[in-house]
Amino acid sequence: MLRFYTSGESHGRGILAFLEGIPAGLNVDIALINAELARRQGGYGRSSRQKLESDEATVLSGIRHGITSGAPITLLVNNKESENWTYVMSTSEVDITDKNVIEQMENKSIKRFRPGHADLPGTIKFRQRDIRDVLERSSARETAARVAAGALCQQVLSNCSIKSTAHVLQIGDIEALQDAAQMSIEEIDIKAKNADLLCIDDTAAEKMKVLINKTWQEGDTLGGVVEIIVEGLPVGLGSYTQWDLKLDGKLAQALMSVQAVKAVEIGDGTNSAKKVGSLVHDAIYPTKHNSPLPFRRQTNYAGGIEGGMTNGERLIVRAYMKPLPTLRSGLSSLSFPEFAEQTAHYERSDVCAVSACAIVCKAMVSIILTGALLDKFGGDNLVDLQNSIDQYKGYCSRLGQDVKA
Ligand SMILES: Cc1cc2nc3c(=O)[nH]c(=O)nc-3n(C[C@H](O)[C@H](O)[C@H](O)COP(=O)(O)O)c2cc1C
């Protein structure tokens, strides 16, 4: 079983990712993890913070001489800015009579709720005295840990011939028209990696940038839609036998947990609700002898999942991100602790973080799929996992042969 947690505050020492259950024997490429961290920080419409931080993962446990040992893995992403926040984020008591402490605490304490953030319910729930206590942990800075852990999981998956990519489908009301279904996963990945908005449709990407500039000038923000595509998944990851074992449910929970994601869609998703069944379900056809699987589909409306299990087709998952809630133009809000009318607190913020969200969502999908792979095939060492998958794929490729002969 794979377990994954994060800890850390936005302006504390750093953000940590813990992964337990990653098999021993995986050669970990830290450069690949750092490349994903850099991609999370990129994208048009990001705030100056992304320029201040250049994230890198440090391994604290579970990896020796570059190879996983089977022990829990801890990855640390330092907050380079934290040295300017020593008093505010100190984990030990501070001298509240010290002039410097008073000044820093006063400057950084948050006294006005930001609508659309965790501020209001979080402050009440935890009986906080400074809204900063909520901001620090609810901030999307936490997604750096998700991306580091996800990039490590992507290395488990690629060792099992599973490839993934992510791209931006929509920003505001501008949609990419390029059909990813007609492209190979490698083509999509190269195109997305070379586009600063991760959009594979160049014409739409130009319009998106114009929209981001205009929105920034108006002091407003934007959301959008991202798509994650995965290929090479064996049939039968996840299960129909219990509600909490269904892979679509696990993916939805993981993606909905990403800050600002408000809807998740698998395959034809919301579109399928308005169509008739014959235009939604993927008919099954036979394949020729010696194919990896004895069946094929001509369509993939299901997005690679039927009955909570992978069905051998491309996995297609979309996440819908709301416009970011911190607005330069300022929404009406209340002060704390007085609950008197005030404009919302503004702290340096992105205008649009949809491309970063795509990288975070790909990381979450990779973590869930690695967990599902380990649930089905086990393996304390990567070789055991690979052998078990190969043996199962052999069984799948022979299906139907004995009966036909
Ligand atoms: C990669 C990423 C970057 C984000 N950057 C910002 C930001 O700069 N400003 C902001 O107000 N919200 C940002 N958000 C969204 C907020 O963190 C999120 O809306 C807030 O924590 C409330 O959570 P909820 O929208 O899921 O309810 C970002 C989200 C992601 C995934």
Give the Å distance between the CA of 353 and the centre of ligand 1: 8
CA torsion through residues 26, 32, 324, 210, sign:
negative
Tell me which residue of 152, 191, 164 sits closest to 30, measured CA to CA: 152
**Is any ligand 1 atom within 6 A of the Cβ of residue 360?**
yes
**Is any ligand 1 atom within 6 A of the Cβ of residue 50?**
no
Q: Which domain covers residue 324, as residue numbers? A: 3-90+107-392
Give the Å distance between the CA of 65 and the centre of ligand 1: 36
Give CA–CA dist 93/21, Å, rounded.
36
Measured from the Cα of 114, ligand 1's closest atom is 11
Q: Rounded to 5 degrees, what are φ and ψ at 192?
A: -65, -40
The answer to the question of residue 144 being in a domain is yes
User: What's the CATH number where 309 sits?
Assistant: 3.60.150.10
In the chain (405 residues long), the average pLDDT of successive 10-residue segments reads: 97 97 98 97 78 86 98 97 90 91 91 98 97 97 98 98 98 95 96 95 97 95 98 98 98 98 97 96 91 94 98 98 94 97 91 97 98 97 98 94 68
**Is any ligand 1 atom within 6 A of the Cβ of residue 260?**
yes
Give the Å distance between the CA of 224 and the centre of ligand 1: 13
Return the SS3 of 136. helix
For the chain, what is the domain count?
A: 1
Would you put residue 197 in left (φ > 0), alpha (ψ -120 to 50) or beta? alpha
Give the Å distance between the CA of 115 and the centre of ligand 1: 12
The answer to the question of residue 397 being in a domain is no
The answer to the question of residue 97 being in a domain is no
Contact of 378 with 384, CB cutoff 8 Å: yes
The answer to the question of residue 234 being in a domain is yes
What's the chain's Rg over C-alpha atoms? 23
The answer to the question of residue 378 being in a domain is yes
Question: What does the pLDDT read at residue 275?
Answer: 97
**Is any ligand 1 atom within 6 A of the Cβ of residue 300?**
no
Give the Å distance between the CA of 352 and the centre of ligand 1: 10
The answer to the question of residue 102 being in a domain is no
**Is any ligand 1 atom within 6 A of the Cβ of residue 259?**
yes
The answer to the question of residue 70 being in a domain is yes
The answer to the question of residue 402 being in a domain is no
The reported pTM is 0.97
Atom 13 of ligand 1, nearest CA residue: 324
Give the Å distance between the CA of 360 and the centre of ligand 1: 12
Residues linked to residue 306 through DSSP beta bridges, in sequence order: 309
DSSP letter for each residue of 31-63: HHHHHHHHHHH-STT--THHHH----EEEEESE
